[in-house]
Amino acid sequence: MATLGLTEGERESIERFEQEVVQPSMASLVILDFWADWCGPCKQFGPVLDKVASEYADKGVKLAKIDVDSDKLLAAQFRIQSIPTVYAIYRGQPVADLTNYRTESQLKKALDQLLTQLKIEPEGATPQAEIEPLIAMGEQVLSEGDAPRAVSIFRQIRDMAPDNPEVIGGLARSLIAASETDEAKEILDGLSPELANRPEITRAKAALEVASAPAADTGALKQRLAANPDDHEARFEFAAVKMASGDRDSAADALLEIIQRDRDWNEGVARKRFLQLLEAQGLEDPWSGAQRRRLSSILFT
């Protein structure tokens, strides 16, 4: 912003804007609130902004305020026509107009989306670029069947990024694969609602559900099925045992057999459990893709 021909007060205003908005926005998301003391809606919205900004401070969000009466030049530069006007600033540029997000929940939802899209890291956090190769290593080790080593890797990564949902989900699934289901459950149950709803966490919860089936005598279940192939309860229990033991193919086969014979049995529980099995494996996994095609061929033919 050019300063030639400006008053001393205007130059000070620009310098303050550089220090309080532009420079912090190079690494953080700055909520920029244009307000005035006489503005009633500003007084109502201000406490909401203060509260949310305080709660999101450790996620890489900062709050800056501009009094349109004191900083007329800045208000003019941003072409402010009414107040409150609230912008999200990143790397010195407006990236979103937050003015209409007047409730706490609306504002938080908008900030969550921006932080994710812009990949803004909390202050002092390990950059995602450093974490991703380590996560890939942990996932590779887990896929190769070395669950204890995967647990060790994910524990180390979590020390670096304690709130990263990919890391938490990977650690929980590794613990489940290592038969440490109690610790996995404790980790998953202790997460905030915001984290608990992330897809990486719901996948881990599905894996925990899959692994928590009680032990049963598969021999007895097979005898029941031999005597009555439509004993869906026995087949469903057989699938649960196979899921818990890690035999995903046999579990999928049993569930698909139930769906093919009676897709509405027990309010469609077999289909729900089948989808849970795919989620536990990972919806992007090639195996899951192949199983979805098998399900489609049953449902739509």
State how far the Cα of 245 lies from the Cα of 287, in Å rounded to an integer. 17
Catalytic residue status for 39: yes
DSSP states of 71-106: -HHHHHHTT--SSSEEEEEETTEEEEE-TT--SHHH
pLDDT of residue 240 exceeding 80: yes
If you average pLDDT over every residue of the chain, what do you get? Answer: 89
pLDDT of residue 232 exceeding 90: yes
Single out the residue of 29, 16, 46 nearest to residue 93, CA to CA.
Answer: 29
The two three-digit tokens of residue 51, written as one number: 């509260």
Angle between helices 199-211 and 181-189 (to 10 degrees): 140
Q: Which one of the listed residues 42, 177, 201, 234 is annotated catalytic?
A: 42
Check if the beta carbon of residue 110 is closer than 8 Å to that of residue 101: yes
Give one word for 200, left, alpha or beta, with left for phi > 0 and alpha for psi -120 to 50: alpha
pLDDT of res. 51: 93
Phi, psi of 87 (to 5 degrees): -115, 150
Q: How far is CA 154 from the centre of its chain?
A: 17
pLDDT of residue 60 exceeding 90: no
Say which DSSP state 4 is in: T
State how far the Cα of 114 lies from the Cα of 96, in Å rounded to an integer. 8
State how far the Cα of 204 lies from the Cα of 210, in Å rounded to an integer. 10
The two three-digit tokens of residue 118, written as one number: 């812009």
pLDDT of res. 122: 66
SS3 61: strand
Check if the beta carbon of residue 114 is closer than 8 Å to that of residue 89: no
pLDDT of res. 123: 63
Q: Lowest mean pLDDT: which of 142-156, 176-190, 271-285?
A: 271-285
For 265-280, what is the mean pLDDT?
A: 92
Give CA separation, 161 vs 5, 128, 183, 187, 231, in Å.
49, 9, 19, 15, 48
Percent of all residues in the chain with a pLDDT value above 90, rounded to a whole number: 61
For 231-257, what is the mean pLDDT?
A: 92
More confident residue, 280 or 217: 280
Angle between helices 232-245 and 248-261 (to 10 degrees): 160
Catalytic residue status for 42: yes
Task: Kindly indicate the confidence band of residue 38, based on its pLDDT and cuts at 50, 70 and 90.
Answer: very high
Check if the beta carbon of residue 255 is closer than 8 Å to that of residue 270: yes
pLDDT of res. 226: 95
More confident residue, 123 or 99: 99
The two three-digit tokens of residue 215, written as one number: 């032990």
Task: Kindly indicate the confidence band of residue 300, based on its pLDDT and cuts at 50, 70 and 90.
Answer: confident
Task: Kindly indicate the confidence band of residue 172, based on its pLDDT and cuts at 50, 70 and 90.
Answer: very high
The two three-digit tokens of residue 143, written as one number: 């896929």
Single out the residue of 77, 86, 101, 61 nearest to residue 17, CA to CA.
Answer: 77
Q: Which one of the listed residues 29, 39, 141, 201 is annotated catalytic?
A: 39
pLDDT of res. 222: 93
pLDDT of res. 58: 83
